[in-house]
Amino acid sequence: MSLGHFNYWLAIAIIMIGFYGVIARKNLLKQAIALGLFQTGVFLFYVSMGVVRTDEGEPGMAPIWTDAAKTGPFDNPLPHVLMLTAIVVSVSTLAVAVAIIVNIKRRYGTIEEDEILEMDQRDRAQIGS
């Protein structure tokens, strides 16, 4: 039974690996990559959701309305379509993140989080604000 949901297990595993990466990595670019992974796990989750099986365990067909296939069962196209949008969102997020990271590299000379924090603290000690 549990194995029957194996793609959900996989989705959750990918989500968690990504989530761990976002939290644990100190390199900003790696964080951004992990964030992408995290979102990809969710896409997999949605795609799995749309899959339909008959009572006999036969997989559903691609939801294409042809003369040959009119009786179904069809997979639910809605979650798949949603993910097209979500992928666009994910790519945009990555783009913005990388753009900011490039700027950080220019201004700080590093993309390691702890080094940046250290530099900020040094600044604060000097300027006083």
Task: Give me the residues that bind other proteins (CB under 8 A), please.
Answer: 15, 19, 22, 28, 31-32, 35, 38-39, 42, 45-46, 49, 78-79, 82, 85-86, 89, 92-93, 96-97, 99-101, 103-104, 107-108, 116, 120, 123, 128-129
Nearest to other proteins of 17, 86 (CB atom): 86
Distance CA 36, CA 38 (A): 5
Nearest to other proteins of 58, 118 (CB atom): 118
CB 50 to other proteins: min, Å:
10
CB 67 to other proteins: min, Å:
23
CB 34 to other proteins: min, Å:
9
CB 118 to other proteins: min, Å:
12
Nearest to other proteins of 17, 82 (CB atom): 82
The residues near 59 (Cβ < 8 Å, ≥ 6 apart) are: 51, 52, 53, 75
Distance CA 113, CA 35 (A): 16
